[in-house]
Structure 1
Amino acid sequence: MAHAQLLISYGQAFVAPDRRTHRSSMSVRVPESPLLSTKGACAVISDSISRNTMAKQAGDLSVRGFLADYFSTPEHWDVKTSATRVMLALNSWCYSQSQHVKEGSFVSSMSAMVFRGRDSFLFHMGDTLVFRLRGAEFEQLTRDHVTDVGGYRYPSRALGMDGSLDIDYTPLPLKQGDFFVFTTQGVRGTLMPSDYVRLIRANASDLDAACERLAAEAKQRAQERGYGGDQFCFQILRIDELPEEVESDPALIYGDLPIPPELSPGQRLDGMEVEQVLSRNAQSRVYKVRDSHTGRTMMMKAPSPELSLRNAYLEHFLLQQWVVERVNSPFVIKVITPSRPRRYLYYLMAYVESETLKQWADRHPQASLKQRLDIANQLGKAIQALHHRDIIHQLVTPDNVLIDQHGQVVLADFSACHMRDMEGHKNSGELLRQVGFTEHTAPEYALGDRIGRRSDQYSLASTVYWLLTGALPYSLTPDRLRSHTDLESLTYKSARSVNPEISQALDDALRRALDPQRALRFRRMSELLHAFRVPLGRAPAPEEPNREPRRFWQGVAGILLLLLVLSWLLR
């Protein structure tokens, strides 16, 4: 009788004097349905290239990060898209972290295997090892990416080693009774294929015991041959039952989720009643809705009904939800999981009783410089939170910044958000061009140049300049640039000339962040935010030195000098 669900068993074992110092990490996650049907089960192993604490963190973070992010990818993504994008995001984060440390690095080899339906998908980089035991046939599925240097073997390809990432991808059909063994390069030279077959078959009913027997025998062989045997780990996964063959899950087909029709207050969709239309533009609709089941008030964002055939934008629309879910910051709007399955294409966000920054500025023309700098600092923290997850917002404008009744800033609208190293820089620029440039858009977008975090820095500085002065820093806005020669006509207008309250230091900081040449802006966003945090934008005045002690000791010195002269005269 065919079974409707994939069933998996697994076991694990470590050999280490102290598990906390073990440089390898591994894990298996088998979710419940329907996630098991749509995303499958995952087995992951990582092995850091050194034994320091930082390397250990790299291994742990890569395993935990992959399992957390893979299962939260959009439902319509296939396994390859989901796993690859998660790995690229992890690599970018690990690589950026390695640039800020003096000793060690966030670099690790990694193998991840996804089991979905009757198929498996292997993703690999570095020198971790994955084997398959099918019947009496024992086969290595991964390819070692190593370089020999002075007699030592180092990974030539690994997570966090480089800004770009080359991933081996291998789809493999499953058979009931297949065993998959995950281990690390340290086991080389200890166990033979026949040892794996013998020990696994002898302990097939207890996979933890099988892993422990493999680890113990590997350790014994290593000691007999005169080298360390304290860094072994094994993970075995067995396919117990396979689901019956079915056609591709229709829930994974993109067009299976229709775009919602135009909605008006009072209408319902998936058990949510529309209370207010918050925004309508060429790309999307934003509604204030109330869940009739939970009573919770939320914001629903849906594509514009006119975009039915524009699949490129719709593909990015669902990416928005996944991107924002990865960010945990009080200054970035939260995504909410629906209380029931979606029948239409949309996502939900926390409702914020607020007004846009533009509306706030219109209502508070007399707001102090201190209040405005506080808003600037909060907005900068929101963008920093995105950048820490390698997300570029690309659309920082006063209309996309919300301020609640307590003065809390919340960054919203991720229509053009872009993950570094997940999409080409050209594609991200094209996306923003489709959404639309603004007067706060960095010049490199209009000129088709390379974009990055400093592009968001420009938009932040331009928005803050407008907030402090009510004007724009250039007479020719970047969105009207046509060629690189137009950059010469961008002459910065001093913010102090518009608002004398602004200090020279703050004006200089804004000038640098707004440089038309991306490379000449601040290297780190924190340097710009420091200028916002100084009270009223002014450097603290040096303390007036206390002159009284100085005068006292001057008097004592004078008296001593007089006594010395008298002593000479009276000789």
Structure 2
Amino acid sequence: MHKSLRVTLGQHSLAGPRSVNQDFHGAVLPGGSLRVSKGIAVALADGIGSSRVSQVASAAAVRGFLDDYYATSDAWSVRRSAQRVLSATNSWLHAQTMRSNARFDMDSGYVCTFSALILKGRDLHLLHVGDTRIHRLHPHALEQLTEDHRVHVSSVESYLGRALGAAPHVEIDYCSWQAEVGEVYMLSTDGAYAHLDATAVHHALAQGGDDLDEAARLLVAAARAKGGDDDCTVQLLRIDELPSADAAQLQTQREGLAIAPPLAPRARFEGFAVVRELHVSSRSHVHLAVDEATGQQVVLKLPSVDLRDDPDYLDRFVLEEWVARRIDSIHVLKASAIERQRRHLYVAMEYVDGQTLAQWMIDHPRPTLDSVRGIVEQLAKGLQALHGKEMLHQDVRPENVMIDRSGTVKIIDLATAHVAGLAETAREHRALAIEGTLQYTAPEYFVGRGGSARSDLYSLAVIAYRMLSSQLPYGLQVTRVRNSIDVNRLHYVPVRHFRPDLPEWVDAVLQKALHPDPAKRQQAVSEFAYDLRSPGQEFLRLRRSPLIERNPVRFWQCTAVVLGTAVVMLLGLCIAGH
């Protein structure tokens, strides 16, 4: 039985001598799939005392963060989701200041400090700006996990160096670590933490028992008793249970679904009428079917019965439809709109009436540069849609690209995708495993450096190179790479060696996209597609390639002629000397 994520939360706030409490706090403890995909969030903000509207800023920061974080894509990582939300909040707060009289005195504007903890899966994520604090409780100490963004002018004078709303842009501190059952964390404002220590926290927890609200109230009272006269807020978070290491969103999605039986033409299955078999392999069975309710043609993919006990395979199987439902691009295969309850495990995707890019390449062995550009540009748009959701395809190859009868190019087979938001539940967040076909896989995967969006860019460039030449840019050298020395030995074969009719700058663009070092490639797939259409001076002002690169055969032929001539001349001189 898999364990779930369980915590206990307590919080309390007390205003200072002013009638308005400029602190604001909140938390969201969702249930079900939302707790798995987004986790539990606790947030705290503290307005600056010099502003009469900073309580508005504090409330907006906490409410906006807790509302908007849970509205972000569950494909995004916690860091990306949280920082995007906080950046938007910061911009809004600063804009409110600039629209008011406070634009002449920023210390009276919509400004606040902010700290938050997000517990997702087995990991804690910290977001922070300003001088609110997050502590971890130890037997004899409070470990401060945040850094105070306060600039000290003297021993008695200081000011905030960073805060939400203080400037158009703000840098948000972020870190993450693995949580442990039984840990207690405290979020607090300066009116509380300045007067509290580990002994006080342990005493309050002992008195409050399982009622952490009472423990938080006792801590606020203790801080006030020790001379604290500012607004005072304390939040306590205790981790009671963490999910099993293998518990994941995809696993919960497929739980309770039976493995489907083999299907035959004209069979009825879950509201579909099977038309014919499209593809069968040791990993899946793919059929063309018609939704009996709408008459829509769909592709049904069923998992192999032989792999029904392989949880990793089953998670990957479910992943394809999960990814497709979160991508809105004409160039990425869409999931079927069917939403009815399922009894069996299957994937329903749109049917593309056309051919694979692999077949197109057979039919067009010597395509024009313009036709290749058109395909690359469409593939780049599809990959860009994936990358925008922090997803990597990881298996971009001609067999995973469909071209329909109207010429629209679509990326298919999303089961190998790496999704940042899902990977956070695993120990290793990076895309390390080689999921794709070796000939199209970027060198960094082979040396264990992990993949990135530039790895998909590399695969796209291999496709472009192969469409133009029917060859691979490094032959089979990449598949034998095992260390950095092997990477440095990779030798790019110019595409003009096979297609001398192409402009020289094409090789320059391709060679950059295919560079063994991902940092030296174009920054994005869209940049590569643009360079292939409109090369800049970087590619146009290149020196003419040496003959050995442009035509190795002719180079060695010429070399042989020169050496042969030299030998004949030397023999002649030797004979003349005798």
**Common fold, TM-score beyond 0.5?**
yes
1:91 aligns with 79
Matches within 5 A, 1:215-254: 252=252
> Of residues 141, 147, 161 in structure 1, which corresponds to 2:173?
161
Letter in 2 for 1:356: T
2:70 is the counterpart of 1:67? yes
Q: Is the 8 A contact 1:109 1:155 kept in 2?
A: no
Q: Distance in 2 between matches of 1:48 and 1:349?
A: 45
Q: Determine whether 1:125 maps to 2:126.
A: yes
Unaligned residue ranges in structure 2 (runs of 5+): 1-14, 16-21, 49-53, 95-112, 135-141, 153-157, 164-169, 197-223, 236-250, 542-578
**Residue 473 of structure 1: how far off its partner (Å):** 0.9
Offset at residue 539 of structure 1 (A): 8.1
- Whether contact under 8 Å (1:513, 1:528) holds in the other structure is yes
CA distance in 2, matches of 1:57, 1:508: 51
Seen in structure 2, the aligned counterparts of structure 1 residues 226 and 311 have a Cα distance that, compared at 3 Å, is: closer
1:449 equivalent in structure 2:
449
Which residue of structure 2 lines up, in the alignment, with residue 282 of structure 1? 282
Output one character per residue of 1:509-561: Cα deviation in whole Å (capped at 9) or x when no partner.
211211223343334444322212328999899xxxxxxxxxxxxxxxxxxxx
Partner of residue 430, structure 1: 433
- How far does residue 466 in structure 1 lie from its aligned partner after superposition? 0.9
1:57 to partner: Cα distance: 11
Conserved in 2, the CA contact under 8 Å of 1:394 and 1:417?
Answer: yes
Query: Quick one: distance in 1 between partners of 2:431 and 2:259?
Result: 23
Residue identity matched to 1:67: Y
- TM-fit CA distance, 1:185: 4.4
Alignment partner of 1:462: what SS?
helix
Match of 1:336 in 2: 336
2:116 maps to 1:110: yes
1:493 aligned residue: 493
Distance in structure 2 (CA, Å) of the matches to 1:438 and 1:57: 50
Partner of 2:323: 323
Q: 1:342 to 1:471 in 2, by over 3 A?
A: same
- Alpha carbons 1:503, 1:537 under 8 Å: kept: no
Q: 1:358 to 1:58 in 2, by over 3 A?
A: farther
For 2:206, the equivalent position in structure 1 comes to none
Tell me the secondary structure at the aligned position of residue 465 of structure 2.
Answer: helix
* Kept in 1: contact 2:268–2:274 (CA 8 A): yes
- How many pairs are equivalent? 438
For the residues of structure 2 that align with 1:452 and 1:280, how far apart are their CA atoms? 31
* SS of residue matched to 2:147: strand
Separation (CA, whole Å) in 1 of partners of 2:429 and 2:67: 31
Q: Provide the residue aligned with 2:11 in structure 1.
A: none
C-alpha displacement at 1:399, in angstroms? 0.8
Q: Give the drift of 1:463.
A: 0.8
Do structure 1's residue 358 and structure 2's residue 358 form an aligned pair? yes
Cα-to-partner distance string for 1:468-522 (whole Å, 9 max, x where unaligned): 2222112224224455544455321112232234332231121121122334333
Retained in 2: the 8 A contact 1:49–1:155? no
What CA distance in whole angstroms lies between the structure 2 residues aligned with 1:44 and 1:68?
13
Aligned counterparts of 2:515 and 2:537: Cα–Cα separation in 1:
20
8 Å Cα contact 2:373/2:529 also seen in 1: no
* Secondary structure of the structure 1 residue equivalent to 2:459: helix
Superimposed CA distance per residue, residues 64-105 of structure 1 (whole angstroms, 9 cap, x where no aligned partner): 5642468x78xxxxxxxxxxxx6xx13146669999xxx99x
Letter in 2 for 1:293: A
In the alignment, which residue of structure 2 is the partner of 1:238? Answer: none
Structure 1 CA distance, aligned partners of 2:325 and 2:27? Answer: 23
CA RMSD of aligned residues (A): 5.8
2:78 partner letter: L
Give the distance between the partners of 2:416 and 2:523, measured in 1 at CA.
Answer: 23
Aligned 8 A contact 1:333 1:350 in 2 = yes
Q: How far apart, CA to CA, are the structure 1 residues paired with 2:68 and 2:411?
A: 24
TM normalised by structure 1 equals 0.59
Structure 1 residue 375 corresponds to structure 2 residue 343: no
Q: How far off is 1:61 after superposition? A: 8.1
Relative to structure 1, the CA distance from residue 510 to residue 66 in structure 2 (aligned partners, 3 Å threshold; closer, same or farther) is same
Contact 1:122–1:171, Cα closer than 8 Å, also in 2: no
User: Residue 295 of structure 1 aligns with which residue?
Assistant: 295
The answer to whether the 8 A contact 1:124-1:168 is kept is: no
Cα distance change on mapping 1:113 and 1:387 into 2, 3 Å = closer
* Conserved 8 A contact 1:503-1:538: no
Please state how far the C-alpha of 1:429 moved relative to its aligned partner. 3.7
- Aligned residue type for 1:532: L
| CA 370–154 in structure 1, closer or farther in 2 if over 3 Å, else same | same
SS of equivalent to 1:476: coil
CA spacing shift, 1:480–1:504, aligned 2, 3 Å: same
Residue 270 of structure 1 is matched in structure 2 by: 270
Query: Are the aligned partners of 1:23 and 1:48 in contact in 2 as well (CA < 8 Å)?
Result: yes
Q: Aligned residue for 2:514?
A: 514
TM-superposed deviation, 1:316: 3.1
Q: CA deviation at 1:454?
A: 2.1
1:181-210, Cα deviation, whole Å (9 max, x unpaired)? x998488699x9xxxxxxxxxxxxxxxxxx
How has the CA–CA distance of structure 1 residues 357 and 65 changed in structure 2, closer, same or farther, with 3 Å as cutoff?
A: farther
The letter of the residue matching 2:408 is Q
Following TM superposition, by how much is the alpha carbon of 1:258 offset from its aligned partner in structure 2, in angstroms? Answer: 2.6
Could you report, residue by residue, the CA deviation over 1:196-244 in whole angstroms, capped at 9, with x for unpaired residues? xxxxxxxxxxxxxxxxxxxxxxxxx9xxx999x9xx9999xxxxxxxxx
- TM-score for both structures, normalised by structure 2: 0.58
CA distance in 1, matches of 2:308, 2:179: 35
Q: Please state how far the C-alpha of 1:289 moved relative to its aligned partner.
A: 2.4
Change (3 A) 1:64 1:528: farther
User: Does the 8 Å CA contact 1:93/1:160 hold for their aligned counterparts?
Assistant: no
Contact 2:65 2:85 in 1 (8 A): no
Cα deviation code 1:127-166 (max 9, x no counterpart): 6899xxxxxxxxxxx997422344678999x99634x623
Distance (Å, rounded) in 1 between the aligned partners of 2:503 and 2:85: 34
Q: Matched residues in 1 for 2:372 and 2:282: separation?
A: 31
Q: What SS is found at the alignment partner of 1:125?
A: strand
Q: Secondary structure at the match of 1:467?
A: helix
Amino acid across the alignment from 2:70 = L
> Mean Cα displacement is larger for which, 477-486 or 336-345?
477-486
SS in 2 for 1:265: coil
2:398 corresponds to: 398
Cα contact 2:78–2:125 (8 A) shared by 1? no
Q: In structure 2, give the amino acid aligned to 1:462.
A: V
Equivalent residues of 1:49, 1:108 under 8 A apart = yes
Check conservation: 1:505, 1:538, Cα contact below 8 A: no
Provide the C-alpha distance between the structure 2 equivalents of 1:40 and 1:483, rounded to a whole number of angstroms. 36
What residue in structure 1 maps to residue 386 of structure 2? 386
Corresponding residue of 2:545:
none
Corresponding residue SS for 2:259: coil
Letter in 2 for 1:90: V
Secondary structure of the structure 1 residue equivalent to 2:512? helix
Which deviations, in whole Å up to 9, do the C-alpha atoms of 1:24-61 show, x marking residues without a partner? 89796989xx979x979988565689999xx9999888
Whichever residue aligns with residue 415 of structure 2, its letter is: S
Q: 1:493 to 1:301 in 2, by over 3 A?
A: same
Q: Is the alpha carbon distance of 1:419 and 1:478 closer, same or farther for their aligned partners in structure 2, counting shifts above 3 Å? A: same
1:450 partner SS: coil
